[in-house]
Structure 1
Amino acid sequence: MLPLCVECGTTRNPCRCRVVGPTLGFLAFALAAVVEWPVGALVYPFRHMKGRRIMAHPAAVVYPSVSSAIPI
């Protein structure tokens, strides 16, 4: 089953709703999280801030950049 994310109230398109961008952003977030969260968990005991940055990367960088790249 494909997740469907909807963002309404935006002024980026005439429909005022976005479906494709947030959905692809979520899928990219999930894919990045599967890789980066275990790596961050391994790094965290030795370098706390570096591990936290690695684990935050999908939410802080991947999702917003993919979601905002597609206006629909």
Structure 2
Amino acid sequence: MGVIGIPICVQCGTASNPCRCKVVGPTIGFLAFAAAAVVEWPVGALVYCFRHVKGRRIMAHPAAVVYPLVSKAIPL
């Protein structure tokens, strides 16, 4: 029987909380990144066939926008 675990992401050296370490924000940010990537990467690949710049922007959206916004929104 296999166990599917949730990845735990840790970001140390941040000044957004007194502990100087974040666990919840980066972990939820990674999960949001993965969910957005499942949808946006195939769409971006299809758009890339016709419009290269637009397709690249769509495929970069999870890493450039989704992950940083979610990770920064939760200071823990």
Q: TM-score range by the shorter chain?
A: over 0.9
Q: Could you list the per-position Cα deviations for residues 10-29 of structure 1 after superposition, in whole angstroms to 9, with x for gaps in the alignment?
A: 11111110000000000000
Counterpart residue number, 1:5: 9
RMSD: 0.4
Counterpart residue number, 2:25: 21
Q: What SS does the corresponding residue of 1:11 show, helix, strand or coil?
A: coil
- Report sequence identity in percent: 81
Give structure 2 stretches of 5+ with no counterpart.
none
Q: What SS does the corresponding residue of 1:10 show, helix, strand or coil?
A: coil
Q: Does 1:37 align with 2:41?
A: yes
Which portions of structure 1, spanning 4 or more consecutive aligned residues, are displaced by more than 3 angstroms? none
Q: Does 1:69 align with 2:73?
A: yes
Counterpart residue number, 1:49: 53
TM-score (norm. length: structure 1): 0.98
Figure out how many residues of one structure are paired with residues of the other and give that number.
72
